[in-house]
Amino acid sequence: MALRRVVVTGLGALTPIGNTAAEFWQGLVNGKSGAAPITRFDAGKFRTKFACEVKNFNAEDHFDRKEARKMDPFTQYALVVSDEAIKDSTLDLEKIIRDRAGVIWGSGIGGLKTFQDEVRSYTLGEGTPRFNPFFIPKMIADISAGYISIKYGFRGPNFVTVSACASATNAIIDALNYIRLGHMDIAMSGGSEAAVTEAGMGGFNAMKALSERNDSPETASRPFDKYRDGFVLGEGAAAIILEEYEHAKARGAKIYAELIGGGMSADAHHITAPHPEGLGATNVMVNALADAKISPEEVDYINVHGTSTPLGDISETLAIKKVFGDHAYNLNISSTKSMTGHLLGAAGAIEASACLMALENGMAPPTINHFTDDDQLDNKLNLTFNTAQKRDLNVVLSNTFGFGGHNTSIIFKKLAD
């Protein structure tokens, strides 16, 4: 059976460096850092006192007060970016077959703030235990996809993938395959996360995953720099509309790019540390290239996982050299997490959006905050340090890896009729 082609026809983004897809892209090309002291709560007692928060977001600008109170921030973010993506796609919801439209979303943690607040309220209370009747519906990760499908009447496949920081990319790959195989024509895909909470910061601090560069938050996320000391926690969401090519063509849709392949693999090594030789990262990129039916030499740019952790950055560059050989030195490579921080389960959606806009604008976004070369890395690689680089991009690849050894890669290509 011939697989159907899948294209991207809409984008939406809510990030620490911009509250729309256009603002996000401007933040990327300008090398804007989203890291700043935490405003959500008093972080004075935490080892890390900063994060990449979404700024100037007021839920009541998008929902009425009663409706907003029923949703955790990660669901609010999901609905806001979905709305932007629908508008950007120019889909006429009255003309599509909604039984053939689905929602496949990603979130690594879901309603962490809701869980934290409800348990805190219970433990501090006296007498009969009382929980908000919306506690469970606000907390569970799948509720984001449920809300999106209800809002737009999408009655096709509907679920949320949970694979830690690979979640959103897993969702995009699932959506790709459901459309390829003819199970639906349109998919809202992407991811959302809102883990900048006391529980989120405390938990990641306890495992020593976060940067503690409190004297300079804006430079704390520094992938590939010799003195990187952990990732910066981020929050936000991004949505992409995936559509079967002939369906999009028939309605005259603007097409950002074709999604030509996706790969998955497991490190089978450690619950949090990457394979030291990049075995899983190597396999996932090989799998994605095979699925896309292209050679390594056709790739122009890689948006790497690049979290700014001592081990992760080394293993990923080793994997790139294994997969791409001499062509690795022709690639533009960058970590946009240097600007957005790490959005956990939403990272893959944010970075897929960055890749799509890089294709559209012929520009590789930078890896900011590079000050000192690391002798453990191959410094002949073009890691696009500090300044965006103009380049005629045709094929781009995005990597996202998650705790538990989950690895995902997706590949976009400029549309060829």
Active site positions, annotated: 165, 305, 342
C-alpha count within 13 angstroms, C-beta hemisphere, residue 204: 25
Say if strands 186-193 and 101-106 run parallel, antiparallel, or are unpaired: parallel
Burial (CB count <10 Å: 0-12, 13-18, 19+), residue 312:
buried
CA–CA dist 408, 302 (Å, integer): 13
Element (H, E) at 137: helix 135-139
Which residue from 322, 258, 316 is spatially nearest to 292, judged by alpha carbons?
A: 258
Determine the residue type at 268: A
Contacts of 280 (CB under 8 A, 6+ apart): 265, 266, 267, 268, 269, 274, 401, 405, 407
Determine the residue type at 39: T
Contacts of 226 (CB under 8 A, 6+ apart): 372, 373, 374, 375
Say if strands 257-266 and 301-303 run parallel, antiparallel, or are unpaired: unpaired
CA–CA dist 301, 365 (Å, integer): 10
